[in-house]
Amino acid sequence: MSVQDITLIGVPLEAGAGRRGCIMGPDAFRTAGLSEALGELGHSVRDVGNIQPEQVSLPETPGVVLKNLDAIAGWTRALHGRALELGLRETLPIYMGGDHALAAGTVTGHAAAANELGRPLFVLWLDAHTDFNTLDSTRSGNLHGTPLAFACGLPGFESYLGHPLNAPVDPGNVEILGVRSIDRQESELLLEYGVSVSDMRRIDEIGIAGLLRPFLDRVAEANGLLHVSLDVDFIDPEIAPAVGTTVPGGATFREAHLVMEMLHDSGLVTSLDLVELNPFLDDRGRTARLMVDLTSSLFGKRVFDRPTRSF
């Protein structure tokens, strides 16, 4: 990946999660020095502040318990429009979340931009969960568990944008890595739609590089654009505790950095989500600093650039 023009956008969204605190995520990334770290690598970085949601009021659906649907629809519409705009410019946007519901807007906006450019959008979803529930299948009603299903064009999500998607992501262009928790109905939907899912057992057996490399080759062969959505809970909670949906047995420090280093080497990434950072649950900022360090790896920081650090 060569020198980039990078746009940082804060998304103080916590309406999709089951615990409060993600609203502080964007400022935690700023405090941890994300802009400075990328600037030191030679990139041009512009922080445009925090995006605000549209105001949406939807009719109630009797018998359906969906938490904060109006708020998620408002965030989705605002983010979709902004991602579409940025996806058509010569910049690489980083969306600093905020919970994973933000991807309903970022992924679909970049898919719409890719469609206008005549190129396919591929999505690398780094997460302990697949977030492939629909509004009908979600058991918790927490809408951060639905954005990928929406982005892939599954039915029933018209309320998110107020209309059906005109450029959904091809489910065959999605790669989910690091999964450790899938609802039964999600599993059925993933199989039905042909989404590639690698849980930690597959990573243990094949290795994360052996799973990621064929996907990156497919992106390159298709002249695709690549959106990466990195959830804090992709990483093992022993080293990244600041997340409200902890699942033991996640990616190690080296596995996570290897993914980022391979993405850098590929030169394919065109947009990035950093999601589910909950500073309220952190230990002296260690998770925020780790996420900044991982992002730096994606943008070219090398192992020998890393000083000894005392937490």
Tell me the domain boundaries of the chain: 5-305
163 counts as catalytic: no
Token representation of residue 111: 């898919």
**Known active-site residue 276:** yes
Q: Using the predicted structure, report yes or no on whether residue 301 has a pLDDT greater than 70.
A: yes
Three-state secondary structure readout of 44-108: EEEEEEECCCCCCCCCCCCCCCCCCHHHHHHHHHHHHHHHHHHHCCCCEEEEEECCHHHHHHHHH
Q: Which of 111, 91, 84, 78 is nearest to 10 (CA)?
A: 78
pLDDT of residue 311: 46
Catalytic residue at 233? yes
List the catalytic residue out of 43, 80, 129, 264: 129
Sign of CA dihedral 109, 111, 115, 117: positive
pLDDT in tens, 241-299: 999 988 999 999 999 999 999 999 999 999 999 999 999 999 999 999 999 999 999 99
Catalytic residue among 99, 186, 231, 261: 231
Q: Tell me which CATH homologous superfamily contains domain 5-305.
A: Ureohydrolase domain (3.40.800.10)
Does the pLDDT at position 62 exceed 80? no
pLDDT band, very low/low/confident/very high, at 2 (cuts 50, 70, 90): confident
pLDDT at 118: 98
Residue 310's pLDDT is 54
Mean pLDDT of all residues in the chain? 94
Which whole number is the average pLDDT over 91-102? 97
Is the pLDDT at 63 greater than 90? The verdict is no
Contact of 17 with 276, CB cutoff 8 Å: yes
Q: What is the pLDDT of residue 303?
A: 66
Residues 6+ apart with CB under 8 A from 211: 175, 177, 198, 202, 203
Q: Which amino acid is at 54?
A: E
- Written as one letter, the residue type at 155 is P
Q: What is the pLDDT of residue 60?
A: 72
Taking only the tens place, the pLDDT of each residue in 100-155 is 999 999 999 999 999 999 999 999 999 999 999 999 999 899 999 999 999 999 99
* Separation of alpha carbons 65 and 126, rounded Å: 27
43, 80, 99, 100: which is the annotated catalytic residue? 100
Per-residue pLDDT band at 64 (split at 50, 70, 90)? low
- Of 54-63, 80-89, 200-209, 218-227, the least confident: 54-63
Specify whether 264 is catalytic. no
Q: Is 110 known to be catalytic?
A: no
Q: State both tokens at 122.
A: 């591929």
Q: What is the pLDDT of residue 190?
A: 97
Across the range 180-201, mean pLDDT stands at: 95
pLDDT at 205: 97
